[in-house]
Amino acid sequence: MSGIRIALVFVGSMIGAGFASGKEAWQFFGVFGDCGLFGIAVSVATYAFLGSINTYIAHRLETADIGRIICPSSNPIARNLVGTVMCGFLLVAYVAMLAAGGALAESSFGLPSQAGSFIYMLLAVFTAIGGFETVASRVGRIAPVLVAATLLMGLYILGRDAALIGVGPRLPASRFASHWMFAAVAYVGYNMTAAVPVLGQCALRARSFQEARNGVFLASVVLGVCSLILYYVTRTDPGLSALQELPMLAFVQKYFPSLKNGYALFLLAAIFSAATTCFYGFTAKLGPVSHRKSIIWIIGVAGYGLSLYGFSNFVANVYPLVGTVSLFFFGLEIVHFIRLRSPDATGSRR
């Protein structure tokens, strides 16, 4: 895989409903006012750092197993425990994307939210069963469209209403992410969970570690630019950004009513990209077990049931909690990276 393709897959795994709709940009950056800019800078640096050490470990150990990448111990029980918990986080992200699909189907097309979530469950399950190449192919094709739509729509709104940035009232942050620094790191911790197994597979298929690392750096910059634009857009109308489950869709409805359904289709693609990536990462941990497809279907349907909790509730309450807990595991990954880089590290596999 080339660095550009790796960057596209990485970006595609990050730009889900929360990102593309502006909800995450508001919840983790915009709500903090000017301090949100520092949060975006921290998030870009953290994406680049964690992504690069993720690809280094995967390339060095020649594995995409999430437990082996994260856990610094060679104890199989410890690795399985770490991998299982991280996969649990992936399941949470998958459930959140199903909830987002339901919310979008209801607000844009008049479908019951349960029906929208069910359709996404089917798409995610069928794609995950197809394996990594299917996931990478579909996500890689969607990513450029997601980035272009985000940039074009966001820049237009800013050109029209830039003077309104910061004019509205200051609104409270989530009680689970009440400081800009904490929110930025928790935000990356949550989103990077989905990228670990995907970047692992990319590292194994890259021409070299340098190629994989360059792809990670490029993706981090792209994510930062998109976050910056969405941050400014959400700050032009804090009340709308806080109230709406999908703020960017509300902005499009406000300025371009005729384009609402078109932008909704763009968000549908973003949701598909993230839901597929997260669910693939979860199912990859199963390995070649017997009745694998049946197990995948059972888990997929169970996730559909949990998605009825609602997308806004996930972003405000579940995302920060999962992101915070995941920081412990990324701390383990950093320890693992340091050990592999130490002079007394032996061998390329453990």
Q: Which of 142, 128, 139, 144 is nearest to 202 (CA)?
A: 139
Query: What distance in Å separates the CA atoms of residue 222 and residue 44, rounded to the nearest whole number?
Result: 9
| 322 or 350, higher pLDDT | 322
Q: Which of 266, 257, 265, 296 is nearest to 279 (CA)?
A: 296
Residue 350 in domain: no
Work out the average pLDDT over 270-283.
78
Burial class (CB in 10 A: 0-12, 13-18, 19+), 334: middle
Residue 348 has pLDDT above 50, yes or no: no
Tell me which residue range forms the domain holding 144: 3-341
Residue 350 has pLDDT above 60, yes or no: no
Work out the average pLDDT over 76-95.
85
| 292 or 46, higher pLDDT | 46
Residue 346 in domain: no
DSSP 199-231: HHHHHHHSS-HHHHHHHHHHHHHHHHHHHHHHH
Amino acid 349: pLDDT: 47
Amino acid 28: pLDDT: 87
Q: Which of 125, 78, 280 is nearest to 199 (CA)?
A: 280
Residue 256 in domain: yes
| DSSP single-letter state for residue 11 | H
Work out the average pLDDT over 266-287.
77
Classify 73 as helix, strand or coil: coil
Q: Which of 160, 171, 120 is nearest to 277 (CA)?
A: 120
Residue 349 in domain: no
The residue behind tokens 């693609």 is 269
The residue behind tokens 């932008």 is 263
Residue 70 has pLDDT above 80, yes or no: yes
DSSP 284-345: HTT-S-TTHHHHHHHHHHHHHHHGGG-HHHIIIIIHHHHHHHHHHHHHHHHHHHHHHHSTT-
Amino acid 347: pLDDT: 46
Query: What distance in Å separates the CA atoms of residue 185 and residue 190, rounded to the nearest whole number?
Result: 9
Residue 337 has pLDDT above 90, yes or no: yes
Query: What distance in Å separates the CA atoms of residue 118 and residue 101, rounded to the nearest whole number?
Result: 9
| 275 or 309, higher pLDDT | 275
Work out the average pLDDT over 45-51.
93
| 349 or 217, higher pLDDT | 217
Residue 267 in domain: yes
Number of Cβ within a 10 Å radius of residue 175: 9
Residue 238 in domain: yes
Lowest-pLDDT range, 54-63, 180-189, 260-269, 314-323?
Answer: 314-323
Supply the angle between the helices 292-306 and 76-109 in degrees, to the nearest 10: 50
CATH number at residue 264: 1.20.1740.10
Residue 76 has pLDDT above 70, yes or no: yes
Work out the average pLDDT over 50-78.
90
Residue 221 has pLDDT above 90, yes or no: yes
| Confidence category of residue 132, pLDDT binned at 50, 70, 90 | low
Amino acid 215: pLDDT: 93
Query: How high does pLDDT run on average in the chain?
Result: 81
| Confidence category of residue 65, pLDDT binned at 50, 70, 90 | confident
Question: Is 349:74 a contact under the CB 8 Å cutoff?
Answer: no
Q: Which two tokens stand for residue 233?
A: 């857009």
Phi and psi at residue 175, to the nearest 5° = -65, -15
List pLDDT tens digits, range 5-14.
888 888 877 7
- Model-level pTM? 0.78
Work out the average pLDDT over 140-160.
76
List pLDDT tens digits, range 308-319.
776 667 766 676
- What is the number of H-type helices and E-type strands within the chain? 16, 0
Residue 347 in domain: no
User: Into how many domains does the chain fold?
Assistant: 1
| 195 or 331, higher pLDDT | 331
Q: Which two tokens stand for residue 78?
A: 């410890």
Work out the average pLDDT over 169-187.
74
Amino acid 128: pLDDT: 77
| Confidence category of residue 138, pLDDT binned at 50, 70, 90 | low
